[in-house]
Amino acid sequence: MTGSRDCVLAIDLGTSGPKVAVVTLDAEVVGWQTRPVQLSLLAGGGAEQDPADWWRAISEAATAVLEQTGAAGRIVAVAVTCHWCGTVAVDGEGAPLRPAIIWLDSRGSRYVPEICDGLIRVEGYGVRKLAKWVRLTGGVPSLAGKEPVAHMLWLRHNEPELYAKAAMFLEPKDWLNFKLTGVFAATHDSITAHWVTDNREIDEIRYDPELLDWIGVPRAKLPDLCGATEVIGTLTESAAAALGLGAVGADGIQVIGGTPDVQSAAVGSGAVDDRHAHIYVGTSSWATCHVRYKKTDVLHNMASLPSPLPGRYFVAAAQESAGVCLEYLRDHFLFADDALGTGPAPEDFWQRLEQVGQTAPAGSGGLIFTPWLYGERCPVADDTLRAGFHNMSLRTGRAELIRSIYEGVAFNTKWLLKYLERFVGARCDPIRFIGGGAMSQLWCQVMADVLEREIHQVVEPRACNARGVALLASIGLGHLQVEDIPSRVGVASSFTPNPEHREILDRQFAAYLQIYAKNAPIHRSLNRRA
């Protein structure tokens, strides 16, 4: 497997559905197909999806892209990347016992304090436990409750019979790998947010018995660990048939450990050198970069965690709502399905949205949007925060509403970037921009103006997750080295800050921070669950 014509079938499962791509071992994206999946938002902060729906959509998208590209005979590996911090409870045969609890779910937040408590507390954590969690793992279970620890606690308290029956709790990515291979396994990076592994030696990551005891989950209910670039098994005949690959050859098709979406995006952005940053804007958003050391900023919910790249850490700093804010505007206000509805959004909705948003001035006429539709993770962990338009007047029109969303997400990114750069001890400039949001020329320029950084729009920015996990497969198969990655990921366009927008955006950003400080207590009183 040395020719670039050999390909990886890269499965990228996002919250809205999978993107399945054919990517060469040299990271050329040959083609991709997407299919939608349903998201159920439930009372009390619940968010669930049906794993069977994932598999159906993946199978349909894989079959379609293999037909589109004619690449079925060139596939030598399959690799999965997926939304992170979810929980699939399965029986001994790997069959889900209930819908998957995904990263948006905060129902378990009320149970997290009981496992984090202690005689002396700091920021809601017992000092002894806080010290050990940070020392070993790099982080702590979030009190916002949007992680597998909280999911499992919620199941134990609310569905005790199912909890007892569950043979294994798997991350969504690791359940998909089971569907592909019949092997129960988690990668060192996918298991990290369970906060039960000792990550001090990057090449010797392992479960810690005391941390397992603290969260109350038996070791037997969690999978064995491996590296993201390791081969965990070969594709089963049934999985190959479902994906449209037909009969596999005598050597089989290798399935690589893979990685969650935050990590695959970091690789697929091409910004893998130390302290080289990228921004992702999709449903959610994040800013991250690679470092060589383990470090934690508890106050801003930021830590360097195991990277899928061998021997490396990456800084995890995610914000909850980004592109979903524009989808919310579309589905609940512009094209709502109600008695006032005007029908479905046009196929060229995103192009029209950008055209309208571009007509508003920088600063959106003084309008400020705070993008906390589902709480926030970084730089503050607070699931009670809520979004809003601030400083609206009779002069505010649709153009200002639209542009303020682009700017509001950028303001939150600037807030986060301040602590990211402090964490790594360096100014991140230029910054690579990826994800569906990076398709927008307006958003690229807004990011440059707000962040005061040169923004590099990556080639095929929507395919970065698939490209990233394919690069991991290429490394695992021995075709590429980590040092080859930057040269395999091109830059489509560069955007420099417009100095004419500096004064107004600085003023807006200062007001943005004041809006948070003054409104956070109000949100907390309105949205705190009993």
The model's pLDDT over 141-176, given as tens digits with 9 standing for 90+, comes to: 988 899 999 999 999 999 999 999 999 999 999 999
Distance (Å, rounded) from C-alpha 314 to C-alpha 62? 30
Contact 464, 435 (CB under 8 A): yes
Q: Per-residue pLDDT tens for 478-488?
A: 999 999 999 99
- Contact residues for 518 (Cβ-Cβ < 8 A; gap 6+): none
Q: Of 25-29, 141-145, 263-267, which range is least confident? A: 141-145
d(C-alpha 226, C-alpha 183), whole Å: 12
Q: Mean of the per-residue pLDDT values for the chain?
A: 94
What sections of 237-309 are H helices per DSSP? Answer: 237-243, 261-268
User: What is the reported pLDDT for 374?
Assistant: 86
Give me the pLDDT at residue 133, please: 95
Joined tokens for residue 413: 């990114």
pLDDT of amino acid 247: 73
pLDDT at 498: 98
Structure tokens at 199: 């990550």
| Confidence bin at 333 (pLDDT 50/70/90) | very high
Mean local confidence (pLDDT), 56-81:
97
Residue 1 reports pLDDT greater than 70:
no
pLDDT at site 386: 96
Q: What is the DSSP letter of 96?
A: B
Report the range of poorest mean pLDDT among 111-125, 326-340, 395-409, 495-509: 111-125
Element (H, E) at 288: strand 285-291
Q: In 355-458, which ranges are E strands?
A: 368-370, 388-390, 431-434, 455-458
Q: Determine contact, residues 67/17, Cβ cutoff 8 Å.
A: no
The reported pLDDT for the residue numbered 478 is 95
Rounded to an integer, the average pLDDT of 350-378 is 95
CB 311 within 8 A of CB 322: no
Per-residue pLDDT tens digits for 99-155: 999 999 999 999 999 999 887 777 789 999 999 999 999 989 988 899 999 999 999
Q: Is a pLDDT exceeding 80 seen at residue 3?
A: no
Residue 227 · residue 310 · CB < 8 Å: yes
CA atoms within 13 Å, Cβ hemisphere of 244: 22
Q: Is the pLDDT of residue 248 over 90?
A: no
Q: What is the residue type of 467?
A: R
> What's the token pair of residue 509?
């950003």
Average pLDDT over residues 72-100: 97
Angle, CA of 72, 77 and 78, to the nearest 5°: 90
Residue 2 has what pLDDT? 43
- Residue 219's alpha-carbon distances to 165, 197, 206, 232, 382, in angstroms, are 15, 11, 11, 20, 30
Amino acid at 70: G
pLDDT at 527 over 80: yes
In the chain, helix, strand, coil percent, each to 5?
40, 20, 35
* Residue type, position 158, single letter: N
What is the structure's pLDDT at 302?
86
Tally of CB atoms within 10 A around 280: 28
Distances (CA, A) of 451 to 362, 446, 458: 14, 8, 17
Q: Is the pLDDT of residue 521 over 80?
A: yes
pLDDT-above-90 percentage for the chain: 88
The whole-angstrom separation of Cα 427 and Cα 96 is: 45
CA–CA dist 303, 162 (Å, integer): 33
Summarised one tens digit per residue, pLDDT across range 410-466 is: 999 999 999 999 999 999 999 999 999 999 999 999 999 999 999 999 999 999 999
- How far apart are the C-alpha atoms of 376 and 243, rounded to whole Å? 36
The per-residue pLDDT for 526 is 95
| Model confidence pLDDT, tens digit, residues 83-93 | 999 999 999 99
Residue 250: is its pLDDT beyond 70?
A: no
Checking if the pLDDT of 5 tops 90, the result is no
CA distance 48 to 205: 30
Number of other residues whose CB lies within 10 A of the CB of residue 478: 11
pLDDT of residue 249: 59
Q: What is the mean pLDDT of residues 369-386?
A: 90
Residue 170 near residue 151 (C-beta atoms within 8 A): no
Interval 278-322: pLDDT, tens: 999 988 899 999 999 999 887 888 889 999 999 999 997 888 899
The DSSP output letter for 265 is: H
- Find the distance separating the first CA and the last CA of the chain, reported in whole Å: 57
Indicate the pLDDT class of residue 347, thresholds 50, 70 and 90: very high
Nearest Cα to Cα of residue 467 among 431, 430, 435? 435
Cβ contacts of 53 within 8 Å, gap of 6 or more: 37, 38
Q: Is 120 exposed, middle or buried (0-12, 13-18, 19+ CB in 10 A)?
A: exposed
